[in-house]
A and B are shown apart, each in its own frame.
Chain A
């Protein structure tokens, strides 16, 4: 079906090629009729280059049409009407093409990549000679390879499609949109522009593809928060322009809610704790901060909800990101913080049902995340351990704290026990700094302040459960205090990092330590503990203020608060060295001689990068 459609737009010569292709394909059906898709990937005989060509020329008819046709399951047709002897499987490639970018193993993914690269090609218009692909035996590999610098059809298409550039620009982000942008198109359709006949037979729905393997994140990204692209890697979204706001909006924005709502709790405790009575702090501060944090949570959550609705693929990729996934706990933790910090004037006692409602998502997320640690595979703890994992542990203690302060008995203990067990595991693993731990920053980083969070909240939770700040609470509290000191004396190591929104999440441990100190000083009231609690509160407030100023600076002055979120746009396979292209060019037809230089340049650059990447890894190994 695809091929039929394609032949509409191409020259007679190509039609002939396409016919040959058909023949071959249908011959193959005899031989390998059974599993068309899976074998598909390995061998691609001559036909594929034509396919490539055909698809590209299909752009003339509009990018969308391919996609839709791709979505219709055409397998049975060719197979049934198959003829002896060809490589029937090739068909499946082109069919599943527009699926989703995340499928590492499926043919569909690769095709999407190709599509996107093609789109890039349109945009850049850098002329590249892809004539080699015709002569190339392993055409599909080439096809699925990222071709960021454009291609010859890109050039051709560019000339043809110049008026449609706008359209293409939109399309480049399609793969990240919910149902690959179909939602949006349906909306458009509703508005009366019935431009495309969609085949809603979604049995090969693209988004059903497998997730990006976690190794890809480790390979493609670097930096302490795995947010920087390695030199040798490429991304599937255009990296030279600003993406749509929602795509740049990371889940770590919920860190702001954490930071502010924990401040609300701190000021509430400052106003109510017996040991800090001498400060005469009014509850108004708490009230203001609480309303601010409610507003923040509302804003941040609604924007992220929009992202979930419109760009589900981007959310999915964040969820599979080994560090970002921990931030999926942040929304729920900030809701718990809101519940804990609720001003007495707003609500004197919260309904018990609220606790169960708030803790349910925790339980589900924890079952998923802790299960991943334990059950091995790519996301086992020794591989993904990172201080931000504390976010997934601290929720237990916050929940236990809220539950115990509501007067519940068993539920808080349950979450406390779960948190304790997994905190021990995480603490040991992080302290060990296993060399297998790919996500752990080489040196200290602000994220290490999360170390302080869990024990300080745990001490308060245990104090609430027990009813008094007993030895258990003290042990937890002193552990937090020691870790805080241990990090504070190394403050020099924390400079020189690029600001990121995730830093907000690293302030709440300080606030937590300050609150725990107030609790402790209420139990042991003397000058030392009172001074300590005041100092820690001041430090926490100053940090949050500094971060607020920095955020405002980045948001309104430098306007780079939300840079392109590279972490979600990595491609699903390693970039290959483009050496093979040399040969292709050299043996290729002479008509593209002009392009060779350009090509060589690119190829050289790429090779260099890849070698540099290898060099780094070997140096690390030493």
Chain B
């Protein structure tokens, strides 16, 4: 709406709604601007055009503002909007559907085609009009979002979806949900190791626990994956936006890592030996993703490592080591070494970069955050992988294990720093490093069996189990009591352009309200502008 901020626009909106919101969309898609202009208001055709093109793309400000205005009537109290509001309530249901269209696969055409199949051919579509939206540049994510997981909208920014009501479930369902699978399936591995490792024989743990946990995690992986698959099918644009999100992209490794965990934690009673092709099948997607992600780091552009480095990048590294571990335990030779080598090289790079905390690193949380526990994951898994490759827990494996142990301690003594963060589903992904460290400790204590190592591995196992239990309780609380496990996923709905100061709106009736909004907006925008200028001068 800020394109055409004058009153005529809202008048048109009203008229549009008199003829139904649906028809706007349809008319928009059928490209007959001129027609509409002539019919409605010949005097100011330009504004008409703007109004018509409103619902087109997901990134259009007009659309959001309009939607907001329709819902609340907040932005201005003009009579027009009130009228719209009343009319809106009549076809509220229909309206709700349309606003999310832009995030649907092929802008919702798939769904309409499905409904057409069901015998409701209601709209004539012109396919030629559909423009492929360009991928959002990574800078927009940095500009529009904040917080350690880049999931909170900055005050000055706007989103392209309505932010005052709950979105469809699939849109709120983030890729980080796979973290649950990681957490639970790593527990299955831990209990398997507890039951089978010689150093923990004295605990007399039954393999049944592993069995139960493994089946639970299989079920979880299946559920989480099938829901996400639905999202891929129905809301492909949302998935794409998650993929371009500099932090979320790392979680795209999570499904494959979870599958590797399942293969690692498979109960001995179920399958004694996994087929070798399975390993190749599981490692192919990881390899492709790595070529893509590591290449982005190296080849420059907006996603170079010095800009996007974040502890969650460990997820993209740890897959190598998990794959190496699985492959070596299957008896493969060259493949595991390959992934181990690739993981090692990039782990060194990532480790150094994260430790440096470069000032250019836009995604790194200012303070500690649970995500930092991912630091522990790679070296602990690497130690097990190397031990399995070498056939014994040799010095190389020990070096990796002790690095993991030190990092674990280093974070554990700072546990105070980890409070006060808002719970998010991604936390599940941060529990598997603890479980991994516990498993590595068991491997180590099988090699060096004494009271200390045994105590250590029992302690670490308890800590990991407690953490997972606590997280489980929190998740259940959020899911069923607070009912906010899946809040609106702001991160995928940022608009593709900077918000403009709403100066034009001053002219409108509700000057005071507007001044308030405008001035606060201006302040934010200036603050945002101020940040880049010192950089510019320093360069």
Stretch at the interface among A84-92, A438-446, A575-583: A438-446
Chain B residues with Cβ below 8 Å from A434 are 306, 358, 360
Nearest-neighbor residue (CB-CB) of B335 within chain A: A478
In chain B, positions 515-539 with a C-beta closer than 8 Å to chain A are: 532, 535-539
- Check if B371 is an interface residue, CB within 8 A of chain A: no
Is A427's CB under 8 angstroms from B539's CB?
A: no
**Assuming A434-B306, A620-B539, A621-B536, is B337 touching A443 (CB within 8 A)?**
no
Q: Are B298 and A622 in contact (CB under 8 A)?
A: no
22 A-B pairs within 8 Å (CB atoms) are namely: A428-B348, A431-B298, A432-B304, A433-B298, A433-B300, A434-B358, A435-B306, A444-B299, A448-B298, A471-B337, A475-B337, A479-B342, A479-B344, A481-B338, A482-B338, A482-B341, A486-B294, A489-B295, A617-B539, A620-B539, A621-B538, A622-B536
Q: Which residue of B lies closest to A476 (CB)?
A: B341
In the complex, residue of chain A having the shortest beta-carbon distance to the beta carbon of B298: A431
- Of the candidates A428, A443, A489, A524, the one whose C-beta lies within 8 Å of that of B301 is A443
For residue B85, CB closer than 8 A to chain A, the reply is no
Q: Is B100 an interface residue (CB 8 A)?
A: no
Closest CB of chain B to A148's CB: distance in Å?
A: 28
Shortest beta-carbon distance from B119 to chain A in Å: 47
CB contacts (< 8 Å) of A476 on chain B: these are: 341
Q: A203 at the A/B interface (Cβ < 8 Å)?
A: no
**Chain A residues numbered 474-507 whose CB sits less than 8 Å from any CB in chain B:** 474-479, 481-482, 485-486, 489-490, 493
B306 touches A443 (CB 8 A): no
Q: A448 to B360: give the CA distance in the assembly, Å.
A: 23
Please report which residues of chain B, range 314-346, place their CB below 8 angstroms from some CB of chain A when the two chains form the complex. Answer: 333-334, 337-338, 340-342, 344-346
B337 with A431: CB separation less than 8 A: no
Asked if A443 and B299 sit within 8 Å, CB to CB, the answer is: yes
Pairwise interchain contact A486-B295, C-beta atoms closer than 8 A: yes
Closest-by-CB residue of B relative to A617 is B539
Answer whether A482 and B345 are a contact pair too, CB < 8 Å, given A435-B360, A489-B291, A490-B295: yes
- Asked if A375 is at the interface (CB within 8 A of a chain B CB), the reply is no
Q: Which residues of chain B have C-beta atoms less than 8 A from A621's C-beta?
A: 532, 535-539
A432 touches B340 (CB 8 A): no
Q: Which residues of A contact B305 (CB under 8 A)?
A: 431-433
Identify B345's interface contact among A427, A448, A622, CB under 8 A.
A427
B353 at the interface (CB under 8 A from A): yes
A622 vs B390: C-alpha distance when bound (angstroms): 50
- The 9 A-B residue pairs with the shortest CB-CB distance in the complex, in nearest-first order: A621-B536, A478-B341, A433-B304, A475-B341, A621-B539, A431-B349, A478-B338, A432-B306, A479-B345
The listed residue (B291, B344, B349, B539) touching A432 by CB distance below 8 A is B349
The verdict on A471 contacting B390 (CB below 8 Å), with A524-B334, A621-B536 known, is: yes
User: In the complex, are the beta carbons of A428 and B352 less than 8 A apart?
Assistant: yes
Please report the C-alpha to C-alpha distance between residue A490 and residue B297 in the assembled complex, in whole angstroms. 13
Task: Tell whether B389 is near chain A: CB-to-CB under 8 Å.
Answer: yes
Q: How far is the CB of B331 from chain A (nearest CB, A)?
A: 15
A475 to B341 Cα, complex, angstroms: 5
Contact of B536 among A441, A477, A618 (CB under 8 A): A618
13 extra interface residue pairs, beta carbon distance < 8 Å, beyond A431-B298, A448-B299: A430-B298, A432-B306, A432-B349, A433-B297, A435-B306, A440-B300, A444-B299, A444-B300, A471-B337, A478-B338, A478-B341, A489-B291, A617-B539
Residues of B within 8 A of A474 (CB): 334, 337, 341
Query: Which single residue of chain A is at the shortest CB-CB distance from B535?
Result: A621
Confirm or deny: A589 has a beta carbon within 8 angstroms of a beta carbon on chain B: no
- CB contact between A486 and one of B298, B337, B360 (< 8 Å): that residue: B298
Q: Which residue of A lies closest to B340 (CB)?
A: A475
Q: How near does chain B come to A513, taking the closest CB pair, in angstroms?
A: 14
CA of A379 to CA of B5, assembled, Å: 54
Asked whether any CB of chain B lies closer than 8 Å to the CB of A424, the reply is yes
Within the complex, the shortest CB–CB distance from B194 to chain A, in Å, comes to: 29
| Chain A stretch 413-452: residues in CB contact (< 8 A) with chain B | 424, 427-428, 430-435, 440-444, 448, 451
Tell me which residues across on chain B come within 8 A of A433, comparing CB atoms.
Answer: 297-298, 300, 304-306
Question: What is the bound-complex CA distance between A529 and B59, given in angstroms?
Answer: 49
Contact indicator B390/A490 (Cβ below 8 Å) = no
Looking across the interface, which residue of chain B has its beta carbon closest to that of A493? Answer: B299
Closest to B294 in A: A486
| A222 → B minimal CB distance (Å) | 15
Residues of B within 8 A of A481 (CB): 338
Is B300's CB under 8 angstroms from A442's CB?
Answer: yes
A424, B389: Cα distance in complex, Å: 23
Q: Which residues from B are CB-within-8-Å of A455?
A: 345
B77 to chain A, nearest CB (A): 38
Q: Which residues of A contact B360 (CB under 8 A)?
A: 434-435
Closest Cβ neighbor of B309 among chain A residues: A432
B299 touches A490 (CB 8 A): yes
The minimal Cβ–Cβ distance linking B516 to chain A, given in whole angstroms, is 30
A279 to chain B, nearest CB (A): 22
Question: Roughly how many angstroms separate A417 CA and B393 CA in the complex, as a whole number?
Answer: 25
Min CB gap A188→B, angstroms: 50
- Chain A residue numbers with a CB within 8 Å of B341 are 474-479, 482
Q: Please measure, in the bound complex, the distance between the C-alpha atom of A534 and the C-alpha atom of B496, giving whole angstroms.
A: 48
Q: Which has the most chain B C-beta neighbours within 10 Å: A430, A431, A524?
A: A431
Which parts of A391-427 form the interface with B (CB within 8 Å)?
424, 427
What string of 1s and 0s marks CB contacts (under 8 Å) between A93-117 and chain B?
A: 0000000000000000000000000
Instruction: Point out the residues of chain B lying under 8 angstroms from A486, CB to CB.
Output: 291, 294-295, 298
Complex Cα distance, B301 from A493, in Å, reads 12
CA of A474 to CA of B358, assembled, Å: 32
In the assembled complex, how far is the CB of residue A136 from the closest CB belonging to chain B, in whole angstroms?
31
| Nearest chain B residue, comparing its CB with the CB of A475 | B341
Query: Could you say which of B291, B307, B333 has the most chain A C-beta atoms within 10 Å of its C-beta?
Result: B291
Report the bound CA distance from A112 to B200 in whole Å: 81
Give Cα A617 to B538, complex, Å: 11
Q: Which residue of chain B is the closest to A430 with respect to CB atoms?
A: B298
Which residues 481-539 in B have Cβ within 8 Å of A in the complex?
Answer: 532, 535-539
Kindly state the separation between the CA atoms of A434 and B352 in the bound complex, as whole angstroms. 13
CB proximity of A306 to chain B, nearest CB, Å: 39
Residues on the B chain within 8 Å of A428, using CB: 348-349, 352-353
Q: How far is the CA of A443 from the CA of B302 in the complex (A)?
A: 10
Q: CA of A486 to CA of B294 in the docked complex: distance in angstroms?
A: 8
Shortest Cβ distance from A619 into B: residue: B536
Let me know if A475 and B300 touch, CB within 8 A.
no
Specify the chain B residue showing the minimal Cβ separation from A435. B360
CB contact under 8 A between A427 and B306, given known A443-B300, A448-B298, A617-B539:
no
CB distance from B69 to the nearest CB of A (A): 32
Q: Is A478 within 8 A of B337, CB to CB?
A: yes
> Which single residue of chain B is at the shortest CB-CB distance from A434?
B306
Q: Are B349 and A485 in contact (CB-based, < 8 A)? A: no
Query: Min CB distance, B362 to chain A, in Å?
Result: 11
User: Within the complex, what minimum Cβ distance (angstroms) separates A374 from chain B?
Assistant: 16
Q: Is the CB–CB distance between B297 and A424 below 8 Å?
A: no
Shortest CB distance B535–A (Å)? 5
Q: Which B residues are in CB contact (< 8 Å) with A618? A: 536, 539
Compute how far the CA of A308 lies from the CA of B352 in the bound complex, rounded to whole angstroms: 41
Write the nearest CB–CB distance from A129 to chain B, whole angstroms. 37
Chain B positions 283-305 with a Cβ under 8 Å from a chain A Cβ: 291, 294-295, 297-301, 304-305
Residues from chain B with a CB closer than 8 A to the CB of A620 are 539
Contacts of B297 in A (CB 8 A): 431, 433
Measured CA separation A486–B201 after assembly (Å) = 45
Bound: A84/B30 CA distance, A: 92
* Measured CA separation A74–B197 after assembly (Å): 88
Shortest C-beta distance, A198 to chain B (Å), equals 48
Q: Complex: how many Å from CA A444 to CA B301? A: 9
Q: How far is the CA of A448 from the CA of B337 in the complex (A)?
A: 24
Collect the chain B residues with CB atoms within 8 Å of residue A431's CB.
297-298, 305, 346, 349, 353
Cβ–Cβ < 8 Å partners of A441 in chain B: 300
A621 to B536, CA, bound (A): 5
Contact indicator A471/B299 (Cβ below 8 Å): no
Contact B539 A482 (CB under 8 A): no
Give the distance to chain B from A266, nearest Cβ to Cβ, in Å. 22
Contacts of B538 in A (CB 8 A): 621
